[in-house]
Every structure is written in C-alpha cells, then in structure tokens.
Amino acid sequence: MSRFEVILISHSPEETQTLGREIGLRVRPGTVIALFGDLGSGKTALVQGLARGIGVPEDEVVTSPTYTLINEYSGRHPFYHIDLYRLDSTVDFEEIGLEEALYGEGVAAVEWAERLHNEALSEHLDVHLYLDSADPDRRRIRLMAYGSETVNLLRDLKNILKEK
C-alpha cells in the first residue's frame, strides 16, 4: 500500500478549521479520516472545517458526538463524525453497528481512532494533532495517507497549501 506524509503547523483554531475545509473539498466518498490527539488538541475544529468542505451548510452546528457516538450530516456526500472517546477499549465497527459509516459511500471522521482495531482501516488518512506547551493555540499536525486515493489527496493538499 502506498504511503505519504506531510507535517504542518497551525497557529490557531481557525487555521485548523481551514485545513479541515481544504481536506473536505478534496475528499472522496468511502474515505475514512482517523483522528488522533489529546483532549483539546483540535480534532473537533478540524472536523468542523472538514464538514464545511464537504458541503455541510454553515448554519448547521457541527459538534463532537461524545455521548451519541456518531453524528450524521448531509453535504456532497454523507458525512459521519464518530467519537470513540467514551469507549473503554478497542472496538470493531461491526460490533457497534457503524459499518455503514466506515464502509459506505460517505466520508467518516473518527476521533480517538486508536480505539479501532488497526485492521478495520485499509485506505485512509491519519491526522495526528499535537499540542504545543509554549503556545496554547499552536498545533503540529501530522497527516499520513495510506492508499493511492488518500496519497493523491494529500499530495494535492500539500501543493495547494504551498501556494497560499
């Protein structure tokens, strides 16, 4: 499986949302975006931007589904925002009934993706958000694409961000 990696710095929640929006503009149905990071690292901000890029209307509030496990939104593609924070251990999506979100024709963003069995994800995009102890708004963001479609998405994104 092909792989590609990009490391970026975000200086604000708005920049993190903009990155999410740029990903959302390019993402294809069936893509899974696995999000990793501590509490407050910007995962939900990135997902909010992702939703806007996918075409979720501006007046629709995008929040973390910590207590509901999944929020579904309508855009160019169905968009599933999944939060596995409250689950105690690794899970199999089929066991908790989320196979449509993961394997369907929509786009799935999974917060706390480390709680998934690794084999559950084949072609996908990993997004690791790291806090900066010196600047509370700054984030180091590591994007890793696995598979040809997400590699192409990430290469395109890297070129677009260089131009800005």
Mean pLDDT, rounded, of the chain: 87
If you average pLDDT over residues 100-125, what whole number do you get?
78
Contact (CB, 8 A) for 163 and 140: no
What CA–CA distance (Å, rounded) separates 76 from 112? Answer: 25
The H or E element containing residue 22 is helix 13-26
In a domain, 55, yes or no: yes
In a domain, 68, yes or no: yes
Predicted confidence (pLDDT) per residue in 106-115, tens digit = 999 999 887 7
Contacts for 163 with CB less than 8 Å, ≥ 6 apart: none
| The pLDDT of residue 146 | 92
- How many domains does the chain divide into? 1
Q: How confident is the model at residue 117 (pLDDT cuts 50, 70, 90)?
A: low
In a domain, 163, yes or no: no
| The pLDDT of residue 164 | 62
In a domain, 155, yes or no: no
Q: How confident is the model at residue 93 (pLDDT cuts 50, 70, 90)?
A: low
- pTM recorded for the entire structure: 0.88
Range of the domain at 55: 3-145
Angle at 32 between CA 102 and CA 153, to 5 degrees: 150
Alpha carbon 78 to its chain's center = 14
Q: How confident is the model at residue 85 (pLDDT cuts 50, 70, 90)?
A: confident
| The pLDDT of residue 62 | 94
CATH number, position 94: 3.40.50.300
What CA–CA distance (Å, rounded) separates 164 from 156? Answer: 13
Q: How confident is the model at residue 123 (pLDDT cuts 50, 70, 90)?
A: confident
In a domain, 150, yes or no: no
In a domain, 164, yes or no: no
In a domain, 48, yes or no: yes
In a domain, 74, yes or no: yes
Neighbours of 51 (CB within 10 A): 26
